[in-house]
């Protein structure tokens, strides 16, 4: 289904609207001049009426600007967005809003959507239509799935615990749960075949599986290290192999990988976690080098701190905010792709890897 994204600055819009009657009133002036000899009184009245209505329109549209700005501030502070199954209005800043319209047949192409009056040259990638989130629990995985679904995407949720997945899936319209251990190549193959049959070709893969042992080197067994490597890296390889070739063939797609502070830094107690995260980052770089020139955007997001929905803490990263960033990354214009970024809660200097 075609989707149109329009982004515009409400202040510019309202100022433009205010100016419109002034410009419009210039044209009829000529006509009035030619008939002035016979209709002087009427013209004067019409001109004052026109001036009055211009002032009224000017004031009205400026008030509209102030009103939209206040709604924008309110929506931004409360995180609200207006959404129906066919459209979404989201405030990007108090004075700038984005409007998504599904099924917009008047849009010539949904491949490259030109938008934003302020930056008319900005071109976003098309919004993904089928997304796989590998590694779904109540944190980042669920919220990423939720954000992509809100963008009109059908989302496959992958994790091992089928009961948990079913509960999450019930709350996300357009999602479907697939129980899968992503370190098992046979299972991965079967599950991705089912996803293609159920939902269609995959446009976006978010590899969010992670885990390992938070222990020092002397307490790490060979099995622990192997599991760390499999969870963080082998699963990424197996899932990327399922979607990469087709994305490259179509010349578009996105593969996002969740990293951690341990992707950049080994600490004394992360000997059973950092090695797998380092390897995952290395594989993400290889994927980006291979798939980037084929039109597939690969990014690696370093989650530099602890994730929690708690709003009472200034040091926790909210999974819904991380998910918003992932969604924006997925839509980035291809002339300025991000490969890697780090995110951290503003007051949590403990973890800063910068």
Ligand X SMILES: NC(=O)c1ccc[n+]([C@@H]2O[C@H](COP(=O)([O-])OP(=O)(O)OC[C@H]3O[C@@H](n4cnc5c(N)ncnc54)[C@H](OP(=O)(O)O)[C@@H]3O)[C@@H](O)[C@H]2O)c1
Min dist. Cβ of residue 308 to ligand X (A): 7
> Does 296 contact ligand X by CB under 6 A?
no
Judge contact between 309 and 317, C-beta under 8 A. Answer: no
Min dist. Cβ of residue 271 to ligand X (A): 15
Min dist. Cβ of residue 147 to ligand X (A): 13
Min dist. Cβ of residue 231 to ligand X (A): 5
Q: Which residues pair with 298 in a beta bridge?
A: 255
**Integer distance in angstroms from the first to the last C-alpha of the chain?**
41
Task: Give the residue with the Cβ less far from ligand X, 9 or 261.
Answer: 261
> Does 183 contact ligand X by CB under 6 A?
yes
> Does 160 contact ligand X by CB under 6 A?
yes
Helix/strand/coil for 221: coil
Torsion of CA 173, 179, 180, 186, to 10 degrees: -110
**In 35-170, where does DSSP find H-type helix?**
40-78, 140-150, 162-170
Tokens 């080994």 — which residue?
Answer: 266
Binding mask 305-334 for ligand X (x = CB under 6 A): -xx-----------x---------------
Structure tokens at 154: 């059908």
> Does 65 contact ligand X by CB under 6 A?
no
Min dist. Cβ of residue 156 to ligand X (A): 12
Rounded to whole angstroms, the Cα distance separating 15 from 153 reads 35
Q: Which stretch binds ligand X (CB under 6 A): 85-93, 104-112, 129-137, 330-338?
A: 129-137
Which DSSP category does 317 fall into?
B
Size of the site for ligand X (CB under 6 A): 28
Judge contact between 202 and 195, C-beta under 8 A. Answer: yes
Min dist. Cβ of residue 339 to ligand X (A): 17
Structure tokens at 135: 């590694």
> Does 139 contact ligand X by CB under 6 A?
yes
> Does 270 contact ligand X by CB under 6 A?
no
Task: Give the residue with the Cβ less far from ligand X, 97 or 180.
Answer: 180
Task: Give the residue with the Cβ less far from ligand X, 153 or 345.
Answer: 345
Binding mask 192-221 for ligand X (x = CB under 6 A): ----------------xxxx----------
Q: At what angle do helices 235-250 and 274-291 cross, to 10 degrees?
A: 10
Judge contact between 255 and 242, C-beta under 8 A. Answer: no
Q: Which stretch binds ligand X (CB under 6 A): 11-19, 83-91, 112-120, 131-139?
A: 131-139
Rounded to whole angstroms, the Cα distance separating 132 from 202 reads 7
**HSE (CB half, 13 Å, CA atoms) of 33?**
6
List interacting residues with ligand X (CB under 6 A). Answer: 135-141, 158-161, 164, 180-183, 208-211, 231, 235, 258, 260, 303, 306-307, 319
């Amino acid at each position: 289904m075609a989707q149109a994204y329009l982004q515009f600055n409400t202040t510019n819009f309202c100022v433009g609207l205010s100016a419109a009657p002034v410009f419009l009133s210039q044209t009829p002036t000529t006509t009035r001049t030619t008939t002035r000899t016979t209709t002087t009184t009427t013209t004067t009245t019409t001109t004052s009426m026109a001036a009055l209505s211009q002032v009224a329109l000017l004031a009205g549209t400026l008030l509209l600007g102030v009103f939209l700005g206040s709604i924008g501030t309110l929506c931004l502070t409360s995180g609200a967005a207006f959404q129906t199954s066919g459209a979404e209005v989201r405030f990007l800043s108090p004075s700038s809003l984005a409007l998504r319209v599904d099924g917009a047949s008047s849009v010539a192409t949904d491949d490259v959507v030109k938008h934003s009056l302020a930056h008319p040259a900005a071109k976003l990638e098309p919004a993904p239509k089928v997304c796989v989130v590998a590694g779904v629990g109540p944190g980042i995985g669920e919220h990423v799935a939720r954000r992509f679904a809100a963008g009109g995407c059908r989302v496959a949720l992958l994790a091992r615990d089928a009961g948990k997945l079913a509960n999450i899936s019930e709350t996300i319209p357009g999602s479907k749960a697939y129980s899968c251990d992503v370190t098992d190549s046979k299972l991965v193959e079967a599950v991705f075949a089912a996803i293609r049959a159920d939902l269609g070709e995959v446009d976006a893969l978010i590899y969010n599986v992670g885990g390992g042992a938070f222990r020092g080197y002397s307490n790490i067994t060979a099995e622990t290290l192997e599991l760390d490597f499999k969870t963080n890296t082998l699963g990424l390889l197996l899932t990327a192999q399922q979607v990469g070739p087709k994305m490259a063939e179509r010349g578009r797609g996105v593969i996002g990988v969740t990293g951690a502070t341990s992707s950049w830094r080994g600490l004394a107690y992360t000997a059973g976690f950092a090695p797998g995260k380092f390897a995952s980052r290395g594989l993400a770089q290889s994927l980006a080098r291979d798939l980037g020139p084929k039109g597939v955007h690969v990014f690696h997001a370093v989650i530099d701190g602890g994730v929690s929905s708690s709003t009472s803490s200034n040091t926790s990263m909210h999974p819904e905010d991380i998910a918003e960033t992932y969604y924006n990354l997925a839509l980035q214009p291809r002339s300025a792709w991000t490969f890697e970024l780090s995110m951290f809660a503003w007051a949590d200097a403990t973890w800063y890897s910068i």
